[in-house]
Amino acid sequence: MSKLKYAMVSQWSDEDDCFLVGFPDFPGQQWRTHGETYKSAVINAIEALESLILAYETTGDLLPEPKLHQVA
């Protein structure tokens, strides 16, 4: 869990009728997972992030540096 220091973006999608979740520090697709409720989206996002980090480590790719995002 100590490696889970990445920003997570969650957004409701009327089109998909669920919350979409993405990780802006990782290149590639904008949305990585989803959930019918905010809580399920966060649970799925943690699992997706753990899998994403494991995939980077397995292939030997360097993990991106977590960016500090300014909050207004």
32-54 pLDDT, tens digit per residue, is 999 999 999 999 999 999 999 99
Q: What is the pLDDT of residues 51-68, one digit of tens each?
A: 999 999 999 999 998 987
Domain assignment present for 52: yes
Q: What are phi and psi of 12, to 5 degrees?
A: -70, 140
Domain assignment present for 16: yes
Question: Nearest 10 degrees: CA dihedral of 27, 1, 54, 20?
Answer: -40
Domain assignment present for 28: yes
pLDDT for 4: 74
List, in sequence order, the alpha helices (H) in the chain.
38-59
Instruction: Look over the chain and give the mean of its residue pLDDT values, rounded to a whole number.
Output: 90
Q: What is the pLDDT of residues 2-15, one digit of tens each?
A: 577 899 999 999 99
pLDDT for 61: 92
Q: Which residues contact 34 (CB under 8 A, 6 or more apart)?
A: 13, 16, 18, 19, 20, 21, 41, 44
pLDDT for 1: 47
Domain assignment present for 66: no
Domain assignment present for 4: no
Which range of residues forms the domain containing residue 47? Answer: 9-59
Domain assignment present for 2: no
